[in-house]
Amino acid sequence: MEKIAYVNGSFVPHSEAKVSVFDRGFLFADGIYEVAAVLEGKLIDNASHLARLKRSVGEIQLALPETLERIEEIQKELVARNNLVNGMVYLEVTRGADKGRDFPFPKADVKPTLVMFTSEKDIINAPSAKTGINVITVPDIRWERRDIKSVALLAQVLAKQAAAAAGAGEAWMIEDGKITEGGSSSSFIITQDDVIVTRQNGNEILPGCTRKAVVKLAEERQLRIEERAFTVAEALAAKEAFITSASVFVQGVVAIDGNKVGNGKVGPITDRLREIYVEFARATGV
């Protein structure tokens, strides 16, 4: 049975899911997106994703075509229509389709485009959750407003392709000698004295929803957290390293540029943080 997508007010088969060639998301990457995880049929940490969506569209002066409450209703209906048990719901809103290609915002009454679709992924039982992943480092060549979840992702595409070509699971991006974040994830290290370190929020990184939840969960358990920039050398000297995102939850990093982190295996603190996050996800999913 063909999967169902949502396009501008209608639920349609994937083969019929279309937007205009004049859509500003297609022409200018003039849009925002979000990806929420689905675990056992429920949306995970979705309030954080919708709050970030609201902030991102506000930063580019883009009005949502639906309320956040209605957007969540659509997400849930998509999950139900696609019989999705475990996976992701992708959401994108653009400034809509004007009559041509002009850089400034449309002067006419152009309605924003809203599209959503689902994909299947068994995040809990992914083999890499046990084995960990290798990461490579690449220069961070992105724009200066990475806190906005823009659909302009070419720099991340190139970083992720470099990782794939190297047989790695992620790319960590480097700016001024410091790690900013992964191509599609937040970066963490755990020092030899068990301090969890992750880059502080700011324009340099996306404020990750899973990152936010993991930091809060760790703090509630009296684990030590430092939010600051760190270098590759610090990461290589760390006891453990990991990434967080909606698509992996908490994922151990066992090597950087071919060099082992710790003993080259997923560490016990990373394992425990993953367990804690999964417990949180199951308890709070909607």
CB atoms < 10 A from the CB of 12, how many?
14
Does the annotation mark 149 as catalytic? Answer: yes
Which residue in 220, 138, 238 sits closest to 181, CA to CA?
138
For residue 150, give both structure tokens: 């823009």
How many residues belong to the chain?
286
Which residue in 135, 154, 117 sits closest to 248, CA to CA?
135
User: Looking up tokens 């302009």, which residue turns up?
Assistant: 152
Q: How far is CA 268 from CA 71, 132, 248, 258, in A?
A: 38, 12, 17, 21
Asked if residue 155 lies in contact with residue 58, where contact means CB atoms within 8 angstroms, the answer is: no
Which residue in 217, 209, 17, 225 sits closest to 116, CA to CA?
17
Asked if residue 163 lies in contact with residue 258, where contact means CB atoms within 8 angstroms, the answer is: no
Catalytic residue selected from 99, 149, 212, 216? 149
Which residue in 251, 254, 172, 162 sits closest to 205, CA to CA?
172
* Phi, psi values for residue 174, rounded to 5°: -115, 130
| DSSP SS3 for 237 | coil
Which residue in 181, 99, 100, 96 sits closest to 135, CA to CA?
181
Query: Which residues are identified as catalytic?
Result: 149
